[in-house]
Structure 1
């Protein structure tokens, strides 16, 4: 039985992925800040299929201690899903809160790097796989996206670069880059449930389950195949046109 570690498993894409992989025969280590949700997942999926680790992914010391403290039979990790991420604020750069920018960098970039480096030796030993959740925002910027878009561009390109570093190891590395997905993430990003409902009304966005199914497909491909990057959007979403400011 293979083991996956999924960050941000208490909601949205991470939670849906934990459920789907467990249903397809994986053992899942799920991380997140909300212990009660991890406990609920363990009860739902079974203690033999799900192990929750409650910590803030940006806390390096606690994160490393949690990984080092895994029970012996959960330490052989075959798949790392770097899913935890956030967007804070939608303000233009000249009005943005610098603290919001730092939180996004700490979560979307620094924490991802730390966990990746921690688990790479084991992934190489087991010829495992890593899936990083990027975003179409890393390729197609939008007003107010500034640091969020920049952090996801980093994730998208870091994935390709680390794939080059791992040449010959047998480790598969994939960047999955979703567009509009309706999850709790969107409520936080837009500031309220009311704003989220208004934003997605009639848009038929993707769901966390849609992205989870994509992660499952990528993770279960034959070991000689690698999906480098995969961009997904709902049919209703398209690329923004250029804007021109006029006198």
Structure 2
């Protein structure tokens, strides 16, 4: 009887873990979920930013420093999260594009870093939290990219990592059929954030700004956070398999309207 009661209580838990929460889509997602009544555990590498976010949001947001590319760091964060109670959702926002060089001259280190973060980092924390998410009829949500749908010149390394991340989410969905867990993939197109393109171009502000030059109203981090909030708000039996979201001005990576 007690076990049945505990299971019913677990289903009503609204506690989410968000990776990559120190900036961009991750930080926006934390804010959106807290505003929607969730308790959120924010994970990222930069403690000062996590502390500022938690201070802004009060008791509804706690945090743990976590580098999802590091096994010990991730395990310590997961242990701390689970010690704090049941988890209803994992939102995998941690990710990056690094470099935009042709295949013939691309940096192996850049490709390796993207694969470690975008693919293996997502895999690592998903594996560790999946059993707990099944206990609450929870959700694994992956923020991938339209780069995982359509490749483009100069983007092979990033596209390959995002193809892999999307396939991982899709295969996990197939493998978990019949289990009490949802698997959701959200693939954003052009999103203007403070750090994404700047990191891609190794701090070159002119190249980063050129990505969005003339594009009327590229997506904001908050737009993707709203997609996350909406997908998680659906009944536990409704799985939003995939959302592809772009600004109106972007038909594809190579078809973007720019005002002159």
TM-score, scaled relative to structure 1: 0.93
Q: CA RMSD for the aligned pairs? A: 1.5
2:196 corresponds to 1:185: yes
Distance 1:80 1:201 in 2: 34
| Runs of at least 5 residues in structure 2 that lack an aligned partner in the other structure | 1-12, 256-260
Instruction: Please list every run of at least 4 consecutive aligned residues from structure 1 whose deviation after the TM superposition is greater than 6 angstroms.
Output: none
> 2:222: which partner in 1?
209
Residue 94 of structure 1: how far off its partner (Å): 1.1
Residue 195 of structure 1: how far off its partner (Å): 2.2
- Select the residue among 91, 101, 109 that pairs with 2:111: 101
Distance 1:71 1:238 in 2: 42
Distance 1:239 1:28 in 2: 33
Aligned residues between the structures: 240
| Runs of at least 5 residues in structure 1 that lack an aligned partner in the other structure | 243-247
Distance 1:65 1:85 in 2: 20
> 2:171: which partner in 1?
161
Residue 197 of structure 1: how far off its partner (Å): 2.0
- Select the residue among 31, 45, 62 that pairs with 2:73: 62
- Select the residue among 73, 76, 82 that pairs with 2:92: 82
TM-score, scaled relative to structure 2: 0.88
SS in structure 1 opposite 2:119? helix
Q: Cα gap change, 1:109/1:195 in structure 2, threshold over 3 Å: closer, same or farther? A: same
In 1, are the aligned partners of 2:114 and 2:161 still within 8 Å (CA)? yes
> 1:245: which partner in 2?
none
SS in structure 1 opposite 2:104? helix
Residue 55 of structure 1: how far off its partner (Å): 2.4
In 1, are the aligned partners of 2:41 and 2:81 still within 8 Å (CA)? no
